[in-house]
Amino acid sequence: MDARELQSEIAASSQLVIVDLREPELYRAGHVPGAENIPFEQFKDRMNELSPESSIVLVCHTGPMGEVSGTLLAERGYASVRNLRGGMAAWNGELAR
């Protein structure tokens, strides 16, 4: 999904679970509103915190870590997993801190 699609879904109050895969200090500096932080280095150990029934959007720096993490989730039966194409580098919406 691209940044505009994510902004639309956030505005529509979609029941999204947004996961920011970046390091905690980058997350604290600014992240997509409503995102929770599960750093990429911890993702394999913590992905069970996410419900397989949730609609999940993964966000990283520029996209590749989201692709890898999305593949891990899909292999474990998570049905609705998307990646923010271009990651935070492509995000031009509001930032939460």
For tokens 């996961």, the residue is: 19
- Tell me which residue of 84, 62, 67, 90 sits closest to 16, measured CA to CA: 84
Q: Is the pLDDT of residue 77 over 80?
A: yes
Q: Is the pLDDT of residue 3 over 80?
A: yes
The span from the CA of 44 to the CA of 9, in Å, is: 27
pTM for the model stands at 0.94
Domain ranges in the chain are: 3-90
Given the candidates 3.30.980.20, 3.30.565.60, 3.40.50.300, 3.40.250.10, the CATH classification of the domain at 3-90 is 3.40.250.10
- Tell me which residue of 43, 53, 45 sits closest to 17, measured CA to CA: 53
pLDDT of residue 33: 95
| Bridge partner residues of 80 (DSSP) | 55
**What tens digit of pLDDT does each residue of 30-68 get?**
999 999 999 999 999 999 999 999 999 999 999 899 999
Burial 64-76 (b: 16+ CB within 10 A, else e): ebbebbbeebeee
The span from the CA of 9 to the CA of 43, in Å, is: 24
pLDDT of residue 14: 73
